[in-house]
Structure 1
Amino acid sequence: MSVRIGINPLTWTNDDLPTLGAETPLETCLSEGKQAGFSGFELGHKFPRKADVLGPILDAHGLNLVSGWCSGNLLTNSVEQEIEAIRDHLELLKALGSKVMVYCEITGCIHGQINTPLSHRPRMTEQQWEEFLGKLNAVADWCMEQGVQLAYHHHMGTVIETEAEVDRMMQGTGPSMGLLLDTGHMTFAGGNPIAVQQRYADRIVHVHCKDLRPNVLADAKNRDMSFLNAMLSGVFTVPGDGFIDYLTLFKGLKASNYSGWLVVEAEQDPAVAHPLTYATLGANNLKRFCAESGLELQA
């Protein structure tokens, strides 16, 4: 079993705060990502959403499409409405060879609101949990039938943020519902990404690798910052540049025969954190962690 390393374009240009890197063209993201040592990219807002347009662009750079974020609205949509809402996105991923869809319920989310503290994030009632899990399971089953597995992204500022909420989501859904393990978001939320990996080893289908600067994290929590202000303060960095124990995590992935993507997704201000420099550091650190843990890197 082997893994591949990819990157999200928000290293260069940010989807939640589009003014960051607004002037940076897609060509720069792709060429520098390839130069840094990555073999694939996740989607961002500057990517064309037609397979016959995006495919040749990626091919020209020798890159694969890893996956792409999908905003879920199951707390307001029916299963049928949600399937129609995500169908085009799924078809794009499938056409370009992606095996998983990054999915996150965004109803009431506040991670894109720069003046809203993270403590104000939404939480589900008991009735909402029951309805949500039933609908999520149905959508996950449908996606699996189409050949693309849902990978649920627990995310700061949303209804599924904490380790306990991830547990409830995983326990309330079936095997078609995969988990995206985001090391940075889980740690920011006070959880333990290594424990989550061990608990759901057979259902983790995608991994986002971001690290945290401990002093900035402590300050962000102490002042109850918004997600975006924490990011602008430098709370996130690339794997290996913070305090998360990636070597132990990767040894766990090796033991579970994980064979998906390892994706650097480290939100930073590109005017402060030079994108090519940090992309290269992230790629080199992922390669080192893979070598030290025994994870085989696919060429």
Structure 2
Amino acid sequence: MEKIGVANAPCSWGTLEFDETQKQGLVIPWRQMLDELRATGYEGTELGDWGYLPTEADQLVAELRKRELTLVAAFIPVMLRETSALRAGLDLALHIANLLAAVSRISGAAWRPLLLLADENGGDPLRTSCAGRISPSQGLSAREWRIFARNSETVARMVYETTGLRTAFHHHCAGYVETPEEIARFLELTDPNVIGLAFDTGHYLYGSGSNEPGLIEEALRRFDSRIWHVHFKDCSPAVAQEARAQRWDYFTALRHGLFCELGQGAVPFPTVVTWLQLHGYQGWIVVEQDVLPGMGSPYLSALRNRQYLRNLGL
């Protein structure tokens, strides 16, 4: 890519908890989501939860072409700390990677979608209840770290060998790689030629246990060449502070608007954009609002976020 692409994702339209919202009849239809995503000025989308967008490559390509959209990436949560769970996670990753590869091949798009591998966030009660204020004692043991890193590389290698697609690891609150030191440890234990980092600004700031904006630029410098993908997510310092003081779990913090619209929180996006441009970043940035049903209009939120990015030169 010659410029930074600007994309959005289904989670910004309230499909963050797809299985539960489907049961409640609250899911915004995928055609409406794609129409609104394009109408608000975005050029690409992530896949979202499996089964939300079409899972037949020909149909998905046709729908993306109608709207001149690029399929950018797909987020895949896997329980990586237990070898016994790897088979199921690997099967899911390959299943989704095969769809991404088929879409790329049929569409002829220059961009090759990324697989965004993450720990199974929200699956561990301790990590979920303490997200945003994780202490070292709540982390993985040395043995678990070795298993976690090895399993992550196994998924990335198999995806590449099977489809030719690359994998970036997405650190995530309420998962086992959340804090700055946990991210650094993961990168130390994994091969930079095998797996990169999907850097999420909002998850990084909340996961740091601080509201200090300077931590974001520090992270960009620290992780530099490992950053293959970027999620633009803001973090409300007021909600983050209350969440830590009240000891809310991750999902309670989300429902209170932890990840606010761009420019309304503590993430220094002008600094992030400048850094990406100066360092020749040639991938996509993906806006993720994490809008839950009932939290306002996804269309208007996406529109405001896109205008904010235009004002920053994107």
Please point out which of 90, 105, 118 is paired with 1:104: 118
Q: In the aligned structure 1, how far is the partner of 2:257 from the partner of 2:122?
A: 25
- Which segment drifts farther, 179-188 or 274-283? 274-283
Q: How many residues align?
A: 289
**SS state at 1:262 partner:** strand
Aligned residue number for residue 157 of structure 1: 174
How far is 1:108 from its partner?
7.0
Contact 2:58-2:103 within 8 A present in 1 as well: no
> Measured at CA, do residues 251 and 108 of structure 1 come closer, stay the same or move farther in structure 2, by a change above 3 Å?
closer
Q: Aligned ranges for residues 188-203 of structure 1 at < 5 Å? A: 188-190=206-208, 192-203=215-226
Structure 2, unpaired ranges of 5+: 105-111
Does residue 1:93 correspond to 2:100, yes or no?
A: yes
Q: Aligned ranges for residues 40-79 of structure 1 at < 5 Å? A: 40-45=44-49, 46-77=52-83
Q: In the aligned structure 2, how far is the partner of 1:10 from the partner of 1:262?
A: 15
Q: In the aligned structure 2, how far is the partner of 1:23 from the partner of 1:106?
A: 22
How far is 1:117 from its partner?
5.0
Aligned residue number for residue 2 of structure 1: 3
How far is 1:55 from its partner?
1.5
Higher fraction of helix: 2
Contact 1:238-1:264 within 8 A present in 2 as well: no
Letter in 1 for 2:9: N
> Measured at CA, do residues 280 and 270 of structure 1 come closer, stay the same or move farther in structure 2, by a change above 3 Å?
farther
- Which segment drifts farther, 159-168 or 275-284? 275-284
Q: Aligned ranges for residues 249-268 of structure 1 at < 5 Å? A: 249-268=272-291
Aligned residue number for residue 294 of structure 1: none
TM-score (norm 2): 0.84
Letter in 2 for 1:204: I
**SS state at 1:2 partner:** coil
**SS state at 1:234 partner:** coil
Aligned residue number for residue 268 of structure 2: 245
CA displacement 1:168-206 (0-9 Å, x = unmatched): 001111122110000000000126232221122212111
Letter in 2 for 1:85: L
> Measured at CA, do residues 120 and 37 of structure 1 come closer, stay the same or move farther in structure 2, by a change above 3 Å?
same
CA displacement 1:118-169 (0-9 Å, x = unmatched): 3689732111101221232233233334321111111010100000000000
Contact 2:169-2:197 within 8 A present in 1 as well: yes
Contact 2:14-2:290 within 8 A present in 1 as well: no
- Which segment drifts farther, 199-208 or 181-190? 199-208
CA displacement 1:53-111 (0-9 Å, x = unmatched): 21112222221111111122332346666543321111111222343111102177348
Does residue 1:142 correspond to 2:165, yes or no?
A: no
Aligned residue number for residue 205 of structure 1: 228
Aligned residue number for residue 26 of structure 1: 30
How far is 1:241 from its partner?
2.3
Letter in 2 for 1:51: A
TM-score (norm 1): 0.88
Contact 1:152-1:179 within 8 A present in 2 as well: yes
**SS state at 2:167 partner:** strand
**SS state at 1:206 partner:** strand
Aligned residue number for residue 300 of structure 2: 277
State percent identity of aligned pairs: 27
How far is 1:23 from its partner?
4.1
- Which segment drifts farther, 74-83 or 239-248? 74-83
- Which segment drifts farther, 190-199 or 54-63? 190-199
How far is 1:223 from its partner?
1.0
Q: In the aligned structure 1, how far is the partner of 2:152 from the partner of 2:280?
A: 26
CA displacement 1:222-248 (0-9 Å, x = unmatched): 111122211111111232222211111
> Measured at CA, do residues 76 and 140 of structure 1 come closer, stay the same or move farther in structure 2, by a change above 3 Å?
same
**SS state at 2:101 partner:** helix
Aligned residue number for residue 107 of structure 2: none
Contact 2:197-2:227 within 8 A present in 1 as well: yes
Letter in 2 for 1:94: A
Contact 1:75-1:107 within 8 A present in 2 as well: no
Letter in 1 for 2:98: E
- Which segment drifts farther, 139-148 or 259-268? 139-148
> Measured at CA, do residues 80 and 233 of structure 1 come closer, stay the same or move farther in structure 2, by a change above 3 Å?
closer
Contact 1:110-1:120 within 8 A present in 2 as well: no
